[in-house]
């Protein structure tokens, strides 16, 4: 009996030790980005993200029997978040032609690294044509900190927070691959960046996004790119 108890204890300890080792070997999500060493600009681009006024991405897809659409537009508009001037990027989401969410996202480009940082967003959630909520809205400042929306030089295995607003918005991403190939209504793309997004606020949720070189987001779950380019010449 004593032998059985000792064996059981040893097995339990071994399992715990294994899990602890795995946890120690798993790198944490980065949340410090040396912004003090950056010259932050309101315009710029890296391989997978274009932050230039007038650039637009249009993604569409089916959500069960509904047609969903996401239009992302870099506006000719800036906003001060604290002491940082940021570029406004609007995301317009609709289902069957009816708006469900409009968000104004605030980004800045680091000229030294090509990193693009996220300084928050204002959110309007719609129901039957009326604003019913601002859920998920946050701005950098106080306990909230800027996140990294897209590294200038992504590396598989890199993990970073995109939003750092405790109890409100804590989206984070992990670079899964830089070698995906993907077909969309807008064309076939190679050298595609794949990321996995999670949040500690909803531990069971995850999603995957795909970014094409020189374009940006081409797939967000069931939504795929149908048009892209600058507004006066969207393909």
Cα separations (Å) of 58 from 51, 91, 114, 184? 15, 10, 24, 11
Q: Is the pLDDT of residue 152 over 90?
A: yes
- Its domain, for residue 143, covers 31-233
Compute the C-alpha angle 30/36/37, nearest 5°: 90
Tokens found for residue 165: 């607003």
Taking phi first (over 0 means left), then psi (-120 to 50 degrees means alpha), and beta for anything else, what does residue 62 get? beta
Say which CATH number the domain at 164 has: 2.40.360
Give percent above pLDDT 90 in the chain: 85
Cα–Cα distance between 53 and 44 in angstroms, integer?
10
In a domain, 111, yes or no: yes
- More confident of the two residues 14 and 41: 41
pLDDT score for 25: 57
pLDDT score for 27: 79
Tell me the whole-structure pTM to 2 decimals. 0.87
Cα–Cα distance between 102 and 70 in angstroms, integer?
10
Q: Is the pLDDT of residue 7 over 60?
A: no
Domains of the chain: total:
1
pLDDT score for 186: 98
């Amino acid at each position: 009996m004593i032998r059985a108890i000792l064996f059981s204890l040893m097995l339990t300890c071994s399992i715990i030790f294994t899990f602890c080792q795995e946890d120690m070997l798993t790198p944490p999500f980065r949340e410090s980005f040396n912004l003090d060493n950056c010259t932050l600009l309101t315009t710029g681009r890296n391989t997978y993200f274009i932050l230039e006024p007038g650039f637009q991405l249009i993604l569409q897809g089916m959500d069960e029997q509904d047609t969903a659409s996401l239009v992302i537009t870099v506006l000719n508009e800036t906003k001060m978040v604290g002491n940082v001037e940021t570029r406004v990027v609007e995301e317009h989401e609709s289902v069957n032609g009816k708006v469900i969410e409009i968000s104004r996202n605030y980004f800045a480009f680091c000229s030294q690294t090509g990193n693009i940082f996220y300084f928050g967003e204002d959110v309007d959630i719609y129901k039957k044509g009326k604003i019913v909520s601002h859920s998920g809205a946050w701005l950098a400042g106080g306990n909230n900190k800027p996140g990294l929306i897209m590294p200038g030089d992504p590396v598989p295995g890199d993990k970073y927070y995109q939003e750092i607003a405790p109890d409100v918005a804590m989206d984070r991403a992990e670079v899964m691959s830089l070698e995906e190939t993907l077909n969309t209504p807008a064309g076939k793309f190679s050298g595609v960046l794949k990321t996995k997004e999670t949040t500690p606020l909803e531990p069971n949720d995850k999603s995957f996004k795909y970014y094409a070189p020189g374009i940006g987001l081409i797939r967000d779950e069931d939504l795929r790119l149908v048009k892209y380019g600058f507004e006066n010449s969207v393909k």
